[in-house]
A and B are shown apart, each in its own frame.
Chain A
Amino acid sequence: MRLRPFLLKIIDHRVTPYVIVGVIALFMAAPFLWMTLSAFKTLQETFMSPPTYFPKDFTLETMAFTWFQAPIPTYLKNSLIVCLTATLIIVVASIFTAYALSQYPYRGSNIILGLFLFTRTIPPLAMLLPYYLIMRKLGLLNTRLSVILYLIYLSYPLVVWLLKGFFDAFPRDLIDAAIVDGCSRTGTIFRVVLPITAGSVGAISVVAFLWAWNEFFAPYLFIHYDELKPITVGLYYFVGDEVTYWNRMCAAGIYAVVPSLAFFLIAQRYIIKGLTEGALKY
């Protein structure tokens, strides 16, 4: 048992958690660092062995090229249009369903709740084929609409489930008080429930947005015109037959991450709070 006191000495030391978290944080930050540093290298420098860490010939040309010569702004615009539209539709549709399932249960509403939960277990990959065929039938291939429709499928069940968790936790007294004061049931949603849960609803919207931003295979399958591709598919612009333009890929990666990271960091406090409340409900 001499090992245990020794272990305890290490574990209980004041510095230990900082060291461990520091190492893990470095692991989590490493790809960001590598991406940022590489975006300012020349193509020759990215093919140097051993590799350089800080750009030897610091150049802004790569960042400029990807923005002005490559269709990155178009890709970003497509991603923003598609993701924002899908998120808006999902959240608006989910609010009422989740609220009804949470506050006004009816015969069979538990089965419907179970159905939503079951839906979350369906692999999106398995739904690519039916969606592809539906889009082809509707003549929607090579439109942004096809991706929007698919994204609605992707995160709608999750959003309903998360929102239901929030509405469950909402103090019932406030709703009853509003109704006693003469507010209609629907009016209560808009005047009492939504203003108070706005932060959480916003956080869930950001989660849905991030899911949409991350999606690759559906647009990869549905869209073949460069001017309609979202940024995730657009990254393949820099993968050539002979060579991958790593520096340009990294620059494009920065442009791809900046919007989602911005949304995420702004809403981070709410997302963590929201997921936390959801998690503790389990």
Chain B
Amino acid sequence: MVKAGGSSVGESTRPRSGALQSVRGWALVRSALGKTGTLSNANYGMLLSIPGLILLLAWVLLPLFIVIGLSFYRYDNVSPVRFIGLLNYQEVFSNPDFPKILLRTFEFSFGSTALSLFTSVVVAACLNRIGSGSAVFRSLVVMPWAVPLILSGFLWAWMFHPSFGPISDLLLRSGLRDTALNIYEDPISSMVGVIIADAWRRIPFLAIITLAAFQAIDQELYDAARVDGADSIDTFMYITLPLGSRPILIGTLITLMFTFRSIDVIYSMTPGGGYAKSTYVMGAYLFDNLYEFLNFGAAAAISVILILLTFVIGSLFIYYTLKRQ
């Protein structure tokens, strides 16, 4: 009887206090979201960004820690997983091809970025002067942005084909070359080929940024400079470039980071690294360890090295982005 009563009391009070608590919690959320606004603005901001922060933690920081952790383990899908300290890094660094792989990575990323930057500046300078029809040209120039990189690699691979592709054929017909152009039989031209295919897809982004930077420059500056006797070369060198330099710099750093880590074009255009591994870059080395050799430990170590190298470029990007704010 007493027991039953006791339990009935417990049953009757516990849900009530639980309900009360949840009501209070609900009131807190309501006051945060509703008009009553008992939360300070700062706390409101914190509450509002909690879901996003969880996403950041779970989706970005957790995998980041996993890959850093894995790089200290032997994980080759053959022998049991075991902590081995820095041996994975030692294996990667002692690979006799590693310096070449690193060099090619820089060649590819700087080459593609330089080509994109040059083309973007030229396009933007021209579009800036064209009044009518510039929208049509602009659309044409930014269209490749909608093409997947992997497809860009396939298309250019065929366009560069020595016998069935149009580029070699056009060079032969125009008399610029006597023999068919085979970029796949020469290390330097292989690299140039993948750089062109990659830059083709990178130009739209940088061109938009550059054009925006140029168009934001006050027209009166040009008029004033003209009055003072400056010609087009002067105004371009001393007004257009310096005043447009910041957005262009940020855009260039973003492009550099992207090209540094992107291997889509290389993978579809020169599978396996191409002639004499001439297009075999860090990303390809990483993906081979991950996909072909199934050496996850080494892949993790290369991943960490790639993260650190990209961060060198990335820190410049972060610095210049935050500097202005």
B264 and A182 form a contact (CB under 8 A): no
A156 touches B318 (CB 8 A): no
Q: How far is the CB of A194 from chain B (nearest CB, A)?
A: 14
* B44 contacts A185, C-beta separation under 8 Å: yes
Q: In the assembled complex, which residues on chain A have CB atoms less than 8 Å from the CB atom of B250?
A: 279, 282
The smallest beta-carbon distance between B233 and chain A, in angstroms, is 7
Q: Which chain B residues (39-88) contact chain A, with CB distance < 8 Å? A: 41-49, 51-53, 55-56, 59-60, 62-64, 66-67, 70
Q: Mark A97-119, 1 if CB is under 8 A from B, else 0.
A: 11111011111010010111111
With A and B bound together, what is the CA distance between A16 and B128 in angstroms? 12
- Asked whether A18 lies within 8 Å of B130 as measured between CB atoms, the reply is yes
Q: Mark B141-155, 1 if CB is under 8 A from A, else 0.
A: 111111111111011
Q: Name the one of B126, B205, B251, B306 contacting A21, with C-beta atoms under 8 angstroms.
A: B126
**B37 and A184 contact, CB distance less than 8 A:** yes
Known contacts: A184-B35, A184-B37. The answer to whether A276 contacts B147 by CB under 8 A is: no
Q: How far is the CB of A115 from chain B (nearest CB, A)?
A: 7
Tell which of B3-11, B14-22, B95-103, B296-304 binds the partner: B296-304
Q: Are A121 and B60 in contact (CB under 8 A)?
A: no
B272 at the interface (CB under 8 A from A): no
Known: A97-B52, A112-B49. A24 touches B122 (CB 8 A): yes
* Interface stretch (choices A42-50, A57-65, A66-74, A138-146): A42-50
Assembly CA distance A109 to B42 (angstroms): 10
Query: Within B220-264, which residues are at the interface with A (CB < 8 Å)?
Result: 231-233, 246-247, 250-251, 257, 260-264
A264 to B147, CA, bound (A): 10
**Interface: A198 (CB within 8 A):** no
Instruction: State the Cβ distance, A34 to closest chain B Cβ, in Å.
Output: 6
Which residues A118-156 have CB closer than 8 A to chain B? 118-134, 149, 152-153, 156
Contact of B307 among A27, A126, A134, A256 (CB under 8 A): A126
Which of A4, A185, A246 has the largest count of B CB atoms less than 10 A from its CB? A185
Contact B318 A11 (CB under 8 A): no
Q: Would B318 and A117 count as touching, CB distance under 8 A?
A: yes
Do A129 and B200 have beta carbons less than 8 Å apart? Answer: no
Chain A residue contacts of B156, Cβ below 8 A: 31
Shortest B310–chain A CB gap in Å is 5
In whole angstroms, what is the CA distance A250 to B152 when docked? 11
| Residue from B48, B59, B127, B261 in contact with A156 in the complex, judged by beta carbons closer than 8 Å | B59
Known contacts A125-B287, A185-B44, A272-B208; A257/B151 CB under 8 A: yes
Is B159 in the interface zone, CB < 8 Å from A?
Answer: yes
**B1 on the A face (CB < 8 A):** no
A270 to B215, CA, bound (A): 16
Q: Which residues of A contact B94 (CB under 8 A)?
A: none
B26 within 8 Å of A (CB atoms) = no
- Given the known inter-chain contacts A31-B159, A104-B44, A253-B151, please indicate yes or no for A114 contacting B264, CB distance below 8 A: no
Q: Would you call A251 an interface residue if the criterion is a C-beta within 8 Å of the partner chain's C-beta atoms?
A: no
- Which residues does chain B contribute within 8 Å of A271, judged by CB atoms? 208
Which of B56, B148, B310, B314 contacts A214, CB < 8 Å? B148
* A97 with B51, Cβ < 8 A, contacts A20-B122, A49-B163, A125-B263 known: yes
- Please give, as numbers and ranges, the residues of chain A lying within 8 Å of B127 by CB-CB distance: 17, 21
- Name A102's closest neighbour in chain B (CB-CB): B45
Contact status B45-A125, CB under 8 Å:
no
- Chain A residues positioned under 8 Å from B267 (CB to CB): 216
Contacts of A152 in B (CB 8 A): 55, 59
B139 interface residue, CB < 8 Å from A? yes
Chain A's closest residue to B31 (CB) is A184
Is A279 a contact of B212 with CB atoms below 8 Å? yes
- In the bound complex, what is the Cα–Cα distance between A7 and B231 (angstroms)? 11
Decide: A114 near B209, CB < 8 A? Known: A184-B33, A232-B150, A253-B154.
Answer: no
Q: Contact at B45–A103, with CB atoms within 8 Å?
A: yes
User: B119's closest neighbor in chain A, by CB?
Assistant: A24
Given contacts A123-B306, A184-B33, contact A30 B159 (CB under 8 A): yes
Taking a contact as CB atoms closer than 8 A, the residue among B130, B141, B263, B283 that contacts A24 in the complex is B141
Task: Determine if A282 and B64 form an interchain contact, defined as CB atoms under 8 angstroms apart.
Answer: no
Contact of B48 among A99, A279, A280 (CB under 8 A): A99
Q: Which residues of B contact A263 (CB under 8 A)?
A: 146
A169 interface contact, C-beta 8 A: no
Tell me if A85 is interfacial: C-beta within 8 Å of chain B.
no
The 3 A-B residue pairs with the shortest CB-CB distance in the complex, in nearest-first order: A97-B52, A121-B314, A104-B45
Residues of A within 8 A of B (CB): 4, 7-8, 11-12, 16-18, 20-22, 24-25, 27-32, 34-35, 38, 46-51, 53, 93-94, 96-101, 103-107, 109, 112, 114-134, 149, 152-153, 156-157, 160, 182-187, 210, 213-214, 216-217, 221, 231-232, 235, 244, 246, 249-250, 253, 256-257, 260-261, 263-265, 268, 271-272, 275-276, 279-282
Question: Could you give 17 example pairs across A and B, Cβ below 8 Å?
Answer: A16-B126, A21-B126, A24-B123, A29-B140, A31-B147, A93-B55, A109-B46, A121-B257, A123-B260, A123-B303, A126-B261, A127-B303, A152-B55, A183-B35, A231-B148, A249-B158, A282-B324
